[in-house]
Amino acid sequence: MREIVRESLLESIQIKEELLRNSVTQILEIAAIVVNSLKSGGKLIIFGNGGSASDSQHIAAELVGRFKKDRPALAGISLTTNTSILTAIANDYGYEQVFARQIEALGHKNDVVMGISTSGKAKNVLLAIKQARKMGIKTVALTGGDGGELAKSADAALIIPSSVTARIQEAHITVGHIICEIAEQALS
């Protein structure tokens, strides 16, 4: 048991050290896209499946509520929270359309759309990014592994250097927190 704890923590530390060495520029680029959207009256629209759905809700909550300090609410919405919308779209159009259809309804020019997929291969996330691009909305992807088609389809992408889902998700939420902190500093 002690070895499981040790290996998990070491693996997480190594991935974050690699992000520190190689990905600061991408993280700053993504944060700038989010800040520019919020400054121009847009919102962060964020989504993913499973653990990434939870991460999208977590990041939206940090923006709308607060991250580290009291300040005006920042516009963020997770597309994973309305079960009636999710199930209606899945039933009528197929699960692959659950996010794209919401982007079509809720997305506007000054928004930024952030898709989270640990593999970069989630079809519903990819289709939503493509829908946003079709509408002229800035897009961001948080992925892992080789980034999949998602990383290639977004305006900006951060690929976590791991193929272990748990480690990728840990890094995604760390990056989400960094983006929230930068946004909070820039907009309060």
CB 135 within 8 A of CB 126: no
pTM attached to this predicted model: 0.96
Count up the domains in the chain and report the number.
1
Q: State pLDDT tens for residues 20-74.
A: 999 999 999 999 999 999 999 999 999 999 999 999 999 999 999 999 999 999 9
Q: How far lies 37's CA from each of 13, 45, 78, 94, 97, in Å?
A: 31, 11, 16, 30, 24
| pLDDT tens readout for residues 63-119 | 999 999 999 999 999 999 999 999 999 999 999 999 999 999 999 999 999 999 999
Q: Which domain holds residue 172?
A: 2-187
pLDDT of the residue at 9: 95
Contacts of 103 (CB under 8 A, 6+ apart): 45, 79, 113, 128, 131, 132, 135, 137
Domain CATH number, residue 30: 3.40.50.10490
Q: Encode pLDDT of 107-142 as tens digits.
A: 999 999 999 999 999 999 999 999 999 999 999 999
